[in-house]
Amino acid sequence: MKSEFFSKYRPQLIALAFVLFLVAGFAMIGLLASQPHDHLQTHESESVVSESSSSEPKPLVLAEPLVGLKAKDQETPFEGKEGELKLRSVGDVLLHEFVSEMASVKNPFYKSAVDRLHKDGISWENPGGAYDFYPMLAQIAPYMSYADVTLANMEVIVANPQYPVTGYPSFNAPKQIIKALQAIGVDMVTNGTNHTLDYSARGALASIANLKEAQMPYVGSFESQEDHDTPRIIEKNGIKIGILTYSYGTNGVPVPEDQPYLINLVDLPQMVEDVKVLKDKVDAVVVTLQLGQEYDTTPDPTQEQVFQALSDAGVKLILGGHPHVLQPMQWFNGKQTFAIYS
């Protein structure tokens, strides 16, 4: 019955999933600088972290999730605060073929979207190319701006124009989506997902080439072993966070034996080792995951096991994805780790 329902209403559900990305897929965490960073504790009472008045070394504080924040004026740049880091995460950015078609500059839908922007007082001209996604995303730019760092899960490869734009089951999106994400405030994408090898290794590498061309940082899928072994560390306001990304699989497409760096797969012993290595270089480790059952609103036992193991390894924040619906949030090990299952 469930599969029949999703087959019948797939286009509507796809559209809804994309709208959920626009409207509801936001999470925020505040981090407070640690001196030294191996002394960690959680903060239970405030949604925005504040510095201790004690003369003792200040520990890293994982703040309560920040919710209900007002959007900032799109023209007003976010001003960070020394000793505090606000991280926003959005996802999944999953472009079915008809979504890309609506972003074609020849499509009447695109032209009406641009007209709407102008009526709303948002000036925008197509920067060039056959596709322009900014009019779809412009209205959420103010919400995206309230952060020091914004991550987005790039669910599909962005290997067009090298390869044709396609949708389910093998996705490929126009590279213009990258510039649109940058325009609304995305600082880094997680690109290791179950769709990374939809166009085999060549598609994954073409996608990375387009990300690099746009100067969009990425983590999860890599172009070489050297790229894979280069830690993804972001430093803002005196705080360093390290980011790791893993996927449960690649939809049955085998990872080439001579190119294991193309994607980080969920492998608990390796993940724990990765966390151990990265933890010594940063104030906090953030892990994003593609894991769980699509359209299930509760985490499965594998998710629970992996999330617990990551918390035990010292991860401070875990951001899940792949189910395409909201799943619960949870603290692990007291309040050492905050996790969003999906």
Is the pLDDT higher at 58 or at 302?
302
Which pLDDT does position 140 carry in this prediction? 87
Closest by alpha carbon to 103, among 206, 44, 179, 205? 179
d(CA 221, CA 218): 8
Question: At 175, is the secondary structure helix, strand, or coil?
Answer: coil
In a domain, 175, yes or no: yes
Question: Positive or negative, the Cα torsion across 155, 208, 189, 307?
Answer: positive
200-216 tens-digit pLDDT: 999 999 999 999 999 99
In a domain, 193, yes or no: yes
Q: What is the pLDDT of residues 18-53, one digit of tens each?
A: 433 443 344 555 554 444 343 333 332 222 333 333
Coil vs helix vs strand at 192: coil
Segment (H or E) for 193: none
Mean pLDDT estimate for the chain: 84
Domain count, the chain: 1
What pLDDT was estimated at residue 95?
Answer: 97
| 117 in any annotated domain | no
- Does the pTM of the predicted model rise above 0.85? no
Give 136-147 pLDDT, tens digit per residue: 999 888 888 789
Over 90: is that where the pLDDT of 219 sits? yes
Residue-range definition of the domain harbouring residue 311: 9-31+80-96+150-340
Q: Check residue 120 and give its pLDDT.
A: 86
The answer to whether residue 60 is domain-embedded is no
What CATH number should be reported for the domain holding residue 16? 3.60.21
Q: Residues 99-117: what's their mean pLDDT?
A: 94
